[in-house]
């Protein structure tokens, strides 16, 4: 799996340092989620630069019998057709692997074998549902309408309702505040892996607890601030100081606005790599595959000439 870098800086992921980046100073004062989705402390042999661990999934009509996902797992397995009587009956679910984790800045990207913007009527190659945006955004750009998946508080969502976490650079640059938006189980898990891998780049005011994502709030992360989608648009990484004009263009091939030049690229690359390597996946039947190690991924990146498309 090739991990695209956002600049020519190629930082190594750092090993966990005594429990991460220190105690939070309040996580921005925002509400916390339930603790039911906290990842299990039990882990198996490491792959991809980290140890696999189980991430509990809420039980419900959309779980299809899946009780957990796996950090640093491979994914895969045989896709199913969702049976009658369950949400989105007749659509496919499962089968995608970590090597297919990346989308782009465009909503609806990251679906293996599927191109074009928007998420309407699509299956669930990674099981997880796509993030949803507010009605105001959907009115401006109809392809941003994800209302068939419910609002951001929908507890039927695979992995639980949408949550967000804030990650702020410690280099005193006010323009470097990132957010991860995804389901509760995923955000809770990523807080742990990001805190472990990127602690030396994070401000103490970064969140240690996920809080509800209110898609209708003007102060919440917005679709024009997305700098990367992952896992069939079920995870979004946003940057506060970014505004992508292509998001609201009627031309789906419009050129993305470049990222600001004065942000902490080292933290951005660490976030990008950590999400790609560790975001929870539902593993299929046991396979003899392993997620590539970080050094291997870095070597692969040296032979890719399309880095400029990610900046």
Domain coordinates in residue numbering, the chain: 70-278
**Band of the pLDDT at 123, cuts 50, 70, 90?**
very high
pLDDT confidence of residue 173: 63
Residue recorded with tokens 């990251």: 110
pLDDT confidence of residue 47: 37
Cβ contact 164:186 at 8 Å: no
What SS3 class is residue 61? coil
Chain centroid, CA 110 distance in Å: 11
Across 290-299, average pLDDT? 40
Q: Does residue 272 register a pLDDT over 90? A: yes
Q: Does residue 18 register a pLDDT over 50? A: no
What's the CA gap between 210 and 162, in Å, rounded?
10
pLDDT confidence of residue 284: 82
Checking DSSP bridges between strand 162-168 and strand 211-212, what pairing results, if any? Answer: antiparallel
Q: What is the pLDDT of residues 178-237, one digit of tens each?
A: 999 999 999 999 999 999 999 999 999 898 899 999 999 999 999 999 999 999 999 999
Which DSSP letter does residue 278 get? H
Q: Does residue 53 register a pLDDT over 80? A: yes
**Band of the pLDDT at 34, cuts 50, 70, 90?**
very low
Q: Which of 109, 128, 53, 94 is CA-nearest to residue 223? A: 109
Q: Does residue 19 register a pLDDT over 50? A: no
Cβ contact 187:165 at 8 Å: yes
């Amino acid at each position: 799996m090739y991990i695209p870098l956002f600049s020519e800086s190629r930082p190594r992921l750092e090993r966990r340092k005594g429990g991460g980046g220190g105690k939070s100073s309040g996580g921005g004062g925002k509400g916390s989620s339930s603790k039911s989705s906290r990842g299990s402390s039990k882990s198996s042999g490491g792959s991809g630069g980290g140890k696999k661990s189980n991430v509990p999934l809420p039980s419900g009509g959309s779980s299809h019998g899946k009780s957990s996902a796996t950090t640093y797992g491979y994914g895969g397995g045989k896709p199913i057709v969702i049976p009658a009587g369950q949400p989105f009956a007749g659509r496919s679910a499962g089968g995608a692997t970590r090597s297919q984790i990346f989308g782009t800045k465009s909503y609806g990207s990251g679906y293996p074998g599927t191109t074009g913007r928007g998420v309407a009527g699509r299956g669930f190659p990674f099981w997880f549902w796509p993030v949803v945006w507010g009605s105001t955004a959907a009115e401006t750009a109809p392809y941003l309408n994800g209302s068939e998946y419910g609002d951001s508080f929908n507890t039927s969502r695979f992995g639980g309702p949408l949550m967000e976490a804030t990650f702020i650079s410690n280099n005193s640059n006010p323009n470097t505040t990132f957010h991860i938006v995804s389901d509760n189980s995923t955000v809770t898990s990523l807080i742990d892996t990001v805190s472990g891998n990127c602690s030396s780049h994070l401000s103490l005011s970064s969140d240690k607890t996920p809080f509800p994502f209110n898609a209708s709030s003007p102060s919440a992360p917005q679709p024009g601030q997305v700098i990367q989608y992952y896992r069939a648009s079920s995870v979004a990484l946003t940057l506060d100081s970014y505004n992508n004009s292509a998001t609201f263009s009627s031309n789906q091939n419009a050129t993305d606005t470049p990222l600001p030049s004065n942000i902490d690229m080292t933290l951005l690359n660490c976030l990008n790599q950590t999400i790609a390597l560790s975001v929870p996946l539902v593993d299929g039947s046991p396979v003899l595959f392993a997620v590539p190690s970080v050094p291997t991924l870095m070597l692969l990146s040296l032979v890719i000439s399309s880095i400029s498309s990610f900046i």
